[in-house]
Structure 1
Amino acid sequence: MTLQSMTGFARSEGVSGRSRFVWELRSVNGKGLDVRLRLPQGLERLEADVRRLAGERLSRGNVQASLSIAQDETKMEAVVNRDALDAVLALRAQLGDAIDPAPLRLDTLLSIRGLVDIREQEDDEAAVAARDSAILAGLDAALANLQRMRETEGAALKSALNAHVTRIAELTRVIEADPSRTPEEIARKLSVQLDQLLQEKSGFDRERLYSEAALLATRADLREEIDRLKAHVSAVGELLDKGGPVGRKLDFLAQEFNRESNTICSKSNASAVTAAGIELKVVIDQFREQVQNLE
């Protein structure tokens, strides 16, 4: 599967009968899939289908979907209010000879408020159904364009993330290879420090001091942190190769990377290891920033 960014833009246009419509989609980062719609009045019935189509193409991101419609030609029709007409005719019959017996003229009827309404002609059911179908097809085309754009950005993100994780692996090897982190070197440094203390004062219990030194040496060992960093590097590589909506898992691994780098910096007993640990934290922050953009 292909990695997708959560940012993108797409537009599609279509025609159905005398209606022209335009879809515009904008997508940004989000914890889940949040689709916000702007539909013309009277087309609220399409909302469920719009959300369904978006869910089939996308799994994460805040998506704004906007639909606009215009009519190529306007057809007008005269609609007679039959109840009002019947009431007028009934009143005329009731008045009988009290009014002019001449037939009612059209201009007279048109002058009666509410009797005749001149309005835009509405499409029949078949035309409305065809337009709805065309609008949803246009949305699907826009979603496909948005998906392609997000995949293009996802490919660029994959390249950047691979570069970051390669650097994380390199820094892990630097820390692992540093002579200061071997048990022997840790013991040597502690032995030197203890000898200095013992030479200065005679009241120390040598056996207890060496027991404490052994405990400190165990705590200063970075083997577990290095092994976990290597495991996380491997897991990130597998997820990037797998593709699909893996952003949440990569974000979790970024947090784990950060946890191990913090521990390394706190346990470090050498400037070279501390420097590598600090650079490791910088690269991990860059890695996590990029992960935030992934679906």
Structure 2
Amino acid sequence: MTVSSMTGFARVDGAADGFGWTWELRSVNGKGLDVRLRLNGGFERLEAKVRDAVSKRFKRGNMGVTLNVSRSGDTNAYSVNRELLSELVQIAEEFDNTSSLSSGTIADLMNVRGVLEAYEPQEDEATRDANDAAVLASLNDAIDQMAAHRAEEGEKLDAMLRGHIDNIEATVTRAQNCEAARAEAIKDRLKRQVEELMDAGKFDPER
């Protein structure tokens, strides 16, 4: 029977257009299977699929599954708050006519807080599905790595247990041999004592 440890670790990196990710799996002993997830980068939606993939391969162990996502460069899109910008332009024009101070240019006004607003563009369905598939494929690689690590640890555990069993069996054999030798020695001693008693009970016929 193959022995598999419940202790293991796996780490797999992946990348797609505009972002990268890292899966980390850690497992310790547990009576049943307890999976704790930490998914970020908008991939919380994969929780059910991640749990299903893990439970298909492992039945025991307390397992932590972490997905860290990093975006490359500035992936935000920007929109202009035209209403606010128009108000600022109007105010600038008024000051241009009434003040000796130079009015702000459009570039200056764009730096005013609230004029230029950043937002994360929404992925289209095809892109989202492709990214999900890539991330889940690398999860399967991490699961394979974890299974291999647990099997390797299990082989070490099996060798250690077999060594202990061999030592116990050798000790029992020595004890049995000693016991057998002791019983034989006692038997010989009793035999000699009986013979001595028999000899002591014989009478000299000439007396």
The bucket for the TM-score relative to the shorter chain is 0.5 to 0.7
Paired residue for 2:53?
53
**Alpha-carbon distance between aligned partners in 2 of 1:154 and 1:137, rounded to the nearest angstrom:** 26
Structure-2 change in CA distance of 1:41 and 1:77 (3 Å): closer
Unmatched segments (≥5 aa) in structure 2: 87-105, 187-207
Q: Could you tell which deviates more after superposition, 136-145 or 169-178? A: 169-178
Paired residue for 1:155?
155
Correspondence 1:4-23 to 2 at 5 A: 4-23=4-23
Paired residue for 1:103?
none
Contact 2:6 2:28 survives alignment (8 Å): yes
Structure-2 change in CA distance of 1:73 and 1:125 (3 Å): farther
**Alpha-carbon distance between aligned partners in 2 of 1:181 and 1:34, rounded to the nearest angstrom:** 55
**Alpha-carbon distance between aligned partners in 1 of 2:25 and 2:144, rounded to the nearest angstrom:** 11
- How many residue pairs match? The answer is 160
Q: Given residue 140 of structure 1, which amino acid in structure 2 is its aligned partner?
A: N
Structure-2 change in CA distance of 1:76 and 1:153 (3 Å): closer
Deviation at 1:153, TM superposition (A): 1.5
**Alpha-carbon distance between aligned partners in 1 of 2:61 and 2:11, rounded to the nearest angstrom:** 17
**Alpha-carbon distance between aligned partners in 2 of 1:71 and 1:122, rounded to the nearest angstrom:** 14
Contact 1:34 1:62 survives alignment (8 Å): yes
Paired residue for 1:165?
165
SS in 1 for 2:14: strand
**Alpha-carbon distance between aligned partners in 2 of 1:145 and 1:112, rounded to the nearest angstrom:** 51
Deviation at 1:152, TM superposition (A): 1.3
**Alpha-carbon distance between aligned partners in 2 of 1:181 and 1:37, rounded to the nearest angstrom:** 63
Correspondence 1:222-241 to 2 at 5 A: none
Unmatched segments (≥5 aa) in structure 1: 89-106, 186-295
**Alpha-carbon distance between aligned partners in 1 of 2:182 and 2:32, rounded to the nearest angstrom:** 43
**Alpha-carbon distance between aligned partners in 1 of 2:141 and 2:2, rounded to the nearest angstrom:** 19
Deviations 1:40-77 (A, max 9, x none): 16322211111111122222222111111111232333
SS in 2 for 1:21: strand
Structure-2 change in CA distance of 1:149 and 1:112 (3 Å): closer
**Alpha-carbon distance between aligned partners in 1 of 2:14 and 2:20, rounded to the nearest angstrom:** 6
**Alpha-carbon distance between aligned partners in 2 of 1:172 and 1:3, rounded to the nearest angstrom:** 25
Contact 1:25 1:65 survives alignment (8 Å): yes
Q: Given residue 134 of structure 1, which amino acid in structure 2 is its aligned partner?
A: A
Q: Given residue 15 of structure 2, which amino acid in structure 1 is its aligned partner?
A: V
**Alpha-carbon distance between aligned partners in 2 of 1:181 and 1:51, rounded to the nearest angstrom:** 62
**Alpha-carbon distance between aligned partners in 2 of 1:124 and 1:133, rounded to the nearest angstrom:** 14
Contact 1:6 1:150 survives alignment (8 Å): yes
Paired residue for 2:143?
143
**Alpha-carbon distance between aligned partners in 2 of 1:3 and 1:176, rounded to the nearest angstrom:** 31
Contact 2:7 2:28 survives alignment (8 Å): yes
What value does the CA root-mean-square deviation take over the aligned residues? 3.2
Contact 2:80 2:117 survives alignment (8 Å): yes
What is the identity percentage for the equivalent residue pairs of Structure 1 and Structure 2?
A: 40
When normalised by structure 1's length, the TM-score is 0.47
Paired residue for 2:103?
none
Larger Rg: 2
Structure-2 change in CA distance of 1:181 and 1:133 (3 Å): farther
Correspondence 1:1-295 to 2 at 5 A: 2-40=2-40, 42-79=42-79, 117-177=117-177, 178-179=179-180
**Alpha-carbon distance between aligned partners in 1 of 2:126 and 2:173, rounded to the nearest angstrom:** 69
Answer 1 or 2: which has greater strand percent: 2
When normalised by structure 2's length, the TM-score is 0.64
Deviations 1:16-52 (A, max 9, x none): 2211000111122222221111111632221111111
SS in 1 for 2:3: coil
Contact 1:16 1:130 survives alignment (8 Å): no
